[in-house]
A and B are shown apart, each in its own frame.
Chain A
């Protein structure tokens, strides 16, 4: 995997010169760690010989908070996990509670959820493109380009739910309120801008030889290794395996919309980038179909109990989050709060592949390999 012969990685202990490897502390305050993440790189010159990630700087006790709060109160914590696409996390949480309590969700609510969740996915992937471009070194231009489109999506979310990043808009059994009247018009407008924004970023990054050369053939991951490491999401799909829970284990209304699963060829950093770029088109495609197909009716199940009390039950729900398989394991043992809420966070599992992936590469590449995993620290540290 390394581009250097193996012996170059060991200590050069010749002719009385004794050299030791240097450790570099990257983070917790470092522009490339996308939050408060720390990795200790052991370097031999510019080459990384070992990498030790340290996490937990953003631990807020999500699971415990969910266990000591009411089913409906606890939801506000969940969009703080993957805070770039909060609605997807809300969706997983709501689905888990619905499965525990056997709550029906009206079809209109499912459509609203899928639409907004896919918009959040686009939002999160824009964030990836912008931040990844900055990691590779395009001096913030990709960042501001991505930010422009994200603002449009956030504005739309604000119009729908009243909040930009943490809408707390879904409810077990539906969504909090109906869509505004002009939603379809506004959404199509935003989608038009999104297509333009993807093209702009595509031209800025993929159209650049230096960017492609930096990412191509860098730290390739095979499908088997990715599965063994527990990697999911775009990183797994970039290795060539079309594993997307929206198709593999369809939930919500995904069986009723047409979309493709983009897969990579080699599983390198460039493929991870391309898979995400392509997924944005597919997500926009799903939103467009939802706009056409959305039925009328209730947006919230009218037969919901006033106080949600769930007797002995256990449920595991997993959805395709922006970073991979976002799983919620919920256990109820009576009362109005869960006995246990466990988050299987995709960023955390993907991050476990990091130490293996960066060894043998340059320090500069370690940064963009970390960037290509697209972790969100709120999700890693829970």
Chain B
């Protein structure tokens, strides 16, 4: 982290890079805390809007302090450990779930060359760290001594391990096009156009697999509220429960920034390098916000898949499609064909994937027939 930093505290510590690092970590963690508090508030507001409700509106103006009230409540609640729980496994699980997210935050670029550390293999590191999450979740599921938690933990393990594969392959596709694993370099390469335009199929796969990694609807099977009432964190309360909540929203935030760097141009597109760090931070903020709202939108409207449907969608649809993308990229890049071909092939792939799902939606003749017939029967009377 040498050289000119766009932010005012780049090199002011006369080469004491450890002090610099500590200050950066503190800043990122503080921002993360505030972001998580307002993500919970924001999610409740967005969901309320879609569900024709008001959402939190009592604590502070427009309910803006709701998140802090919740945080204080959670901090002073009793920390219950069931007698059947495996003590150490139970108590350490929330932390082991949370630490990987912190590790990811250390490598994310929020503005040009500005993150806690500019990791040269950032793409690989972020993916590896995000995958570590599962250890804590498994521990919570197994250590709680609760059958719902056990089911949730086992479901989470099966799901996260499966969806890791298309997720990583879709990332590799971008890395192939970019020719680097450095997140800052990837952002700079998107000066003219975001990689979304070159790799739409990889984007669709990444977004889907990300929903699964985050346990968001329609892949919220490990935490399915109407089946296993919260899954692996069903026995947790107070501060340990809030660690899981923190993990959920922090990893949503981390994924949104990571995804916008990889696919949407991050802090670079458009005009990031020209207009300074203020504009770059604004771009990061807007893109991650749009990403997060899309995730929340999906959550409120889409029902949950069943575990076998989840698995078959991963192994029979997402994985082959991501491999096809990988293969196409390989041909085009090795033979040095024009870049427009990337857009074309990947666009066809994305259209095929989305079209396949839309076709499946429209393919039930009985559904359309039944609905149509019933509606006509009702309409005659009107």
Using CB atoms and an 8 Å cutoff, list the residues of chain A in contact with chain B: 22-25, 30-32, 46, 133-141, 143-145, 148, 195, 202, 204-214, 216, 258, 260, 262, 265, 274, 277-278, 281-282, 284-285, 288-289, 362-365, 367
Contacts and interface: CB of A to CB of B under 8 A. Distances in A.
A202 B380 CA distance: 19
Given A137-B220, A362-B307, A364-B306, A208 B361 contact: yes
Contact of B366 (A143, A265, A278): A265
A216 B363 CA distance: 13
Interface residues of B, number: 45
Given A134-B226, A281-B378, A288-B381, A212 B218 contact: no
Contacts of A32: 226-227
B51 interface: yes
Interface in B149-197: 151, 155
Which 10 pairs across A and B sit closest by C-beta, in order of nearness? Answer: A137-B304, A281-B378, A278-B374, A285-B381, A209-B361, A144-B51, A136-B303, A137-B303, A138-B303, A32-B226
Contacts of A209: 357, 360-361
A364 B227 contact: yes
A377 to B, nearest CB: 17
A285 B378 contact: yes
Interface string B294-318: 0000011111111111000000000
Interface string B214-227: 00011011001111
Interface in B41-65: 47, 50-53
Given A31-B229, A364-B227, A136 B374 contact: no
B377 interface: yes
Interface in B352-380: 357, 360-361, 364, 366-367, 370-371, 374-375, 377-378, 380
Nearest to A363: B227
Contacts of B377: 260, 262, 278, 281-282, 285
Contact of A362 (B303, B308, B382): B308
Contacts of B361: 207-209, 212
B304 A46 contact: no
A262 B374 contact: yes
A139 B303 CA distance: 7
Contacts of A136: 226, 303-304
Contacts of A134: 226
Given A211-B303, A362-B308, A137 B374 contact: no
Contacts, number: 132
B203 interface: no
A138 B302 contact: yes
Contacts of B224: 137, 364
A364 B221 contact: yes
Contacts of B51: 140-141, 143-145
25 contacts: A22-B147, A23-B147, A31-B229, A46-B151, A46-B307, A136-B304, A139-B47, A139-B299, A139-B300, A144-B53, A209-B360, A210-B302, A212-B364, A262-B377, A274-B370, A274-B371, A278-B374, A278-B378, A281-B374, A282-B377, A284-B381, A364-B227, A364-B306, A364-B307, A365-B306
Nearest to A366: B227
